[in-house]
Amino acid sequence: MQSSLQIAKRARSQRLSQNLSRKTLAKISGVPEASIKRFELTGQIAFLAILKIAYVLGCMEDFDSLFAPKENVSLEQVLMKERTRGRT
């Protein structure tokens, strides 16, 4: 599982690779520069703010799989999987 700080570090790296300062990213995204700085240093940010930043950085597709519907699994399939797991 990824920590919020790891995600923040990748976002910072993406920002820098596009030669954007925090100030410029703040102006384009509408997210306060202080919020961007806090995010990059601590990993803490409001969800709407991270969406705005991701949009500006061209990373919105990274959210496509977030809470995506999972394939339905029947109780029988779960039990069968448990039975086969026990046969090692």
Q: Which domain holds residue 78?
A: 1-88
CA pair distance 65, 68, nearest whole angstrom: 5
Answer yes or no: pTM beyond 0.85.
Answer: no
Tens digit of pLDDT for each residue in 9-31? Answer: 999 999 999 999 999 999 999 99
Q: Give the chain's mean pLDDT.
A: 89
pLDDT of residue 86: 63
Q: Total structural domains in the chain?
A: 1
Residues sharing a CB contact under 8 Å with residue 58, sequence separation 6 or more, in sequence order = none
The enclosing domain of 36 has a CATH number of 1.10.260.40
Mean pLDDT (whole number) for 28-52 = 97
